[in-house]
Amino acid sequence: MKKLILILLLGTVCHFGWAQELQIKGTVRDKDNNPLSGATVTVKGTNTATVTDQNGNFSVGATKGQTLEFSYSGMETTDVAIKNNEAITVLLQGSSKNQMEEVVVIGYGTIKKKDLTGAVAAVTGKDLQANLAKSVTGALQGRIAGVTISNGGGQPGAGMSINIRGLSSLGSNTPLYVIDGVFGDINLVDPNDIASIDVLKDASAAAIYGSRAASGVVIITTKGGRRNSPTVISLNAFTGVQSLPKRMDLMNGPQWKAFIKQQGTLPPQAEAMNNNTDWQGESFHSAPINKINLDISGGGEHSTYNVSAGYQDQQGILKTTGYKAFNVRAKNTFDFFNNHLRLGNTFIIKSGDRQYSDLTITDILRQNPLMAIYDSAKPSGYATYAPWMKNLANPVGWLNTRNQHQYQTDIMLNGYGEVDLFVKGLKYRLNVGISRGFGRGYQRMLPLADGTAVNPSYLGESAGFGNQWLVENTLHFDRVFGKHSFNVLAGYSAQENKDRAFNVSRDNLPAGTDAINAGALDNQKTGGSLQVASLESQFGRLVYSYDSRYLVTASLRRDGSSKFAEGHRYGVFPSFALGWNLSNERFFESLKSSINEFKIRASYGRLGNQDIANYSTQSSVTNGINYIQGNALWKGAINNVMWVSPVDLSWESTTTQNIGLDLAFLKNKLTVTADYYLRQTSGVLLYIQQAPSSGLKGQPYMNAGDIDNKGFEFLANYSDAVGQLHYNIGINASTVKNNVKAITVGGNKEFSGANPRGEGIINWARIGYPIGGFWLVKTDGLFQSDAEAQAYKDANGNVIQPKAKAGDIKYIDFNGDGKITDGDDAQYAGSPFPKLAYGIRGGLDYKGVDLAFFFDGMYGNKIYNYTRARMEQTNEFRNYSTALLNSWTTSNTNTTIPRYSLADDNENRKRTSDRWLENGSFFRLKTLEVGYTLPKLWLSKASLKKARVFVAADNLFTITKYTGYTPDLGRSNGDNGDDIGGVFGNGVDYGRAPLARSIVLGIQASF
């Protein structure tokens, strides 16, 4: 009887319990009302949990009074109390919780931001996808403190120059790019394919890459699929138009004729010429731009995949220029044996066709408006200059008779395997990367009149083949012992680069032919090269954290380079960093309500640079020393013709010290990062000029100088929501002071820089001043009378400018020797580097409508405007700037423009004067975008998950005192007649193709 009663009692209790359990169903969505697949739903206080399906739906058993916890990576966790079994809809907001929990990518691994001790800046793919972004560098411009990205030229596909924390070398300052574990070219990746970019700025973060990291490291992670996710197809496309945002003010035909006649110097032949050619309008035009990207991603329980393709077709605003590119990318991951073995790969192929022009932009601005465009009697039908005019090419004829292309196909393949070993937390990883590049150059030129002469037809073709392989073996150990966290890395890598190239050309090809063998033999040219370089490395790193309060990072890398001689090939590059999370200390608890995060970082490390030409320390054979013996051509070759660098040539070494703060306020809505750094480079690798009497050609490399860079970086972000209005704003700012500390080789403690067209050196590298600082003869207004000019004398009574007259420029005799001399009277006039560089970005969205903007700018830098110098010089018959209409005359003395003089005996055109140096500061609205996400109700019938339409604009306006096309000038890429390369091209406007303004209409959709 007792047993029966017990059974009935237990049954009643169980029945009562079962009766109280409810099956709760519902949907989890994001703030934009999109379903979240893979969100975790947990019954708090129990082991019961589930995940949402592809439509964001879930079903879980719970009892009345229990609480469901909803969580999703990167979003706020939300709790909902169970009251009944009605369906629940939960909206998860973007997480405002401790952003220090975010993971950033560092060399050969990842680390939580809270444990980070180095200076690392992270940008997500969403931040980068300003929908006008035609390249990764363009999308990244102005977004990271301490990273300067400037335009090398305005033609499509021209690329941009990237500099991290100033110039540490007089050679290359290009950072190392790592794409999914393989060293490569940043232009290989489409902005639409990027998941994140992490920039390693200090030695603590970058030293694990050793010799290649002296100029910083940019790590690019491409998009991948997600586990247990259905296939998602995403489309991103836009079309738009580009235009010239600014025109130079030039004289038209009647103005030029009247002005020259007023000066009394109009040539008689010009009287009958009545053309009014707008060369600027004939050379530039509005041009279309189109871009489309397709992405397919998803994953199963043990694999993920992401496949994408993109196509870009951009015509240039300079006629006959443009860029077309097609890219395909595939990224996969797999795991086996209960996730103890993991495999993955990334495959990228990009094929591009860059059609460019080498037309000198200043020829467009200087060509005489009285000259006609066409002349059927001339070769190819284009007119040429009259004998009395300046011998400048017909810009329209030049553009239309030259067909110039650079074709490039690049392939990158990365594969890795990772296996867990017998000790918990220990794993081995093998990473293999292969890169292939195939380039072809094509230049076809038709005959074009050049005064009384004719430039013959021409065909030149070139080909280049680049091959790189990389093998890396690494051991990783990650364990937590109580409050002690260890991350240990040890590795070995080997890399080889092989490049082969050749070129051929011939003149005088018959009309209608397009093959080298059709050209004349008397002026044919051939050339070729083969370059091989290798690098071997061993490296290790320790990351230690105690209770997320005290942080230590130490790394060591040893690199061996084939570029140096035996005994000097290896360099060792250590780093050490400390961090202290004050906000995790007990004494900080009372402050946490107002200061959510407070971390101090400090680091020290040494990096290396091996950027010299291959075989520099070896005596090479010089070919082409040929001569005729009888009726035969004897080919000759000899060694010891070129200078050889000393055998003890070694690594350029850069030591970096950094101290930083990471702060968060207002429940982590406001985050602030600040860094101060000092970079000291010693043993700078430089070409050193040798005495001509040696009889040898070229210049040897030597470890010849020391350079310092120091600066401050600041980044602040604030995000919040008011009801359904979400908004964010971010500001970054940086300063850098560059200084040549020492030149340790040779008698001259300076290196000369840019010398435009051989008309005078305008910038130098001198001790105590920045690289490329401008050294110019300073001006002191205009002489207002002949008597004033003759009264300008030195202490000995010598007239300093004996040829000067009223209206001429007064130059300062800096050294007091009674005469004006370019080098001797030059004074330091300013730096091409800004005192402050900054970016301001922001956005808001409300019920499907979104707005995003981005401003950038610089302050305190100088630009040498060689373009204006050529437009305003008066000693030749060609077109002029309208500024000359305000030239000094006896009735117009309140002006800064000197008198017009065809003879220009006073050299008012002097290239080495500060007349041409301008303020380069600017404030620019770089991008503005307005979008609308279509309601779900509209999309359901079309089987669309999401659709957004947008209008975006790029380069909308620039506020600046600079008078050229654009103040956004980095290192030149050499297009358009620019003969100034390297670091001395910064801040020199030789006449680069202007940047376009773009306005586009686009759509983003997912299926």
Domain definitions of the chain by residue range? 22-91, 103-225, 401-562, 622-648
Q: How many C-beta atoms surround the C-beta of residue 522 within 10 A? A: 8
| C-beta separation of 326 from 188 below 8 A | no
pLDDT confidence of residue 17: 39
Cα 396 from Cα 400, distance rounded (Å): 6
DSSP string, 413-465: EEEEEEEE-SSTTEEEEEEEEEEEEEEEEEEEE--EEETTEEEPPEEEEEEEE
Distance of CA 576 to the CA centre of its chain: 28
Which segment of 162-176, 334-348, 537-551 scores lowest on mean pLDDT?
Answer: 162-176
Split at pLDDT 50, 70, 90, the class of 10 is: very low
- With left for phi above 0 and alpha for psi between -120 and 50, is residue 482 left, alpha or beta? left
Helix, strand and coil in the chain, % to nearest 5? 15, 50, 35
For the chain, give the percent of residues with pLDDT over 90: 58
d(CA 155, CA 544): 48
Q: Per mean pLDDT, which range of 11-20, 409-418, 938-947 is the poorest?
A: 11-20
Mean pLDDT of 567-575: 87
Worst-scoring range by mean pLDDT, 96-110, 248-262, 977-991? 96-110
* Closest to 244 measured CA to CA, from 289, 281, 290: 281
The pLDDT of residue 696 is: 66
Residue 974 has pLDDT above 80, yes or no: no
For residue 691, what pLDDT is reported? 62
Average pLDDT score over the chain: 87
pTM: 0.86
Q: Mean pLDDT, to the nearest integer, of 498-503?
A: 95
- 721-748: b or e for each residue (b if 16 or more CB lie within 10 Å)? beeeebebebbbbbbbebbbeebeeeee
User: Is the pLDDT confidence value at 557 over 80?
Assistant: yes
Least confident range from 102-111, 376-385, 728-737, 847-856: namely 102-111
Cα–Cα distance, 801 to 782 (Å, whole number): 12
Q: Give every CB contact of residue 432 below 8 A, 6+ residues apart in sequence.
A: 414, 415, 416, 469, 470, 471, 472
Q: What pLDDT score does 371 carry? A: 96
Question: For residues 43 and 68, is the Cβ–Cβ distance under 8 A?
Answer: yes
Calpha distance 835→840 (Å, rounded): 17
Instruction: Give mean pLDDT, residues 275-282.
Output: 96
Determine the pLDDT at residue 6. 41
Q: What are phi and psi of 369, to 5 degrees?
A: -70, -15
DSSP string, 351-376: EEEEEE----HHHHHHS-TTS-SB-T
Distance CA 383, CA 388 (A): 15
Residue 8: per-residue pLDDT:
38
User: What integer pLDDT is reported at residue 96 of this predicted model?
Assistant: 45
Could you tell me the pLDDT band of residue 587, with boundaries at 50, 70 and 90?
very high
Six token digits for residue 910: 């002097």
* Mean pLDDT (whole number) for 51-77: 78
At position 886, the amino acid (one-letter code) is N
Going by pLDDT thresholds of 50, 70 and 90, the confidence category of residue 802 is: very high
Residue 428 CA to residue 156 CA, distance in Å, equals 44
Q: Tell me what the mean pLDDT of segment 565-593 comes to.
A: 90
pLDDT at res. 651: 77
pLDDT (0 to 100) of residue 54: 63
Model confidence over 821-842: pLDDT tens digits?
A: 998 999 999 999 999 999 999 9
Kindly give, in sequence order, each residue whose CB lies less than 8 Å from that of residue 725, ignoring residues fewer than 6 positions away: 844, 845, 846
Render pLDDT for 630-652 as a digit per residue (tens, 0 to 9).
777 777 776 766 677 777 777 78
Q: What is the pLDDT of residue 156?
A: 84
Q: Which residue, 501, 519, 521, is CA-closest to 511?
A: 519
The whole-angstrom separation of Cα 293 and Cα 309 is: 6
Length of the chain, please? 1007
Using CA atoms, how far residue 728 sits from 94, 624, 716, 857, in Å, is 12, 64, 11, 20
More confident residue, 355 or 152: 355
Average pLDDT of span 348-375: 95
Radius of gyration of the chain (CA): 33
What is the C-alpha to C-alpha distance for residues 664 and 593, in angstroms, rounded to an integer? Answer: 11
Phi-psi region of 508 (alpha: psi -120 to 50; beta: other; left: phi over 0): left
What phi and psi, each to the nearest 5 degrees, are found at residue 649? -60, 135
Of the segments 105-119, 237-251, 620-634, which one has the largest average pLDDT value?
Answer: 237-251
CATH value of 22-91 in 2.60.40.10, 1.10.645.10, 3.30.70.20, 2.60.40.1120: 2.60.40.1120
pLDDT tens for 187-199 read 889 888 988 888 8
Residues 315 and 305: their CA atoms lie apart, in Å, by 34
Percent of the chain with pLDDT over 70: 91
Quote the DSSP letter at residue 399.
H
According to the CATH classification, is domain 103-225 in 2.170.130.10?
yes
**What average pLDDT score do residues 716-728 get?**
91
According to DSSP, the residues that pair with 435 across neighbouring strands are 412, 468
Q: What is the maximal distance between C-alpha atoms in the chain?
A: 136
pLDDT tier at 245, thresholds 50, 70, 90: very high
The β-bridge partners of 536 are 494, 560
Residue 392 or residue 89, greater confidence: 392
Question: Quick check: helix, strand or coil at residue 259?
Answer: helix
User: Is pLDDT above 70 for 55?
Assistant: no
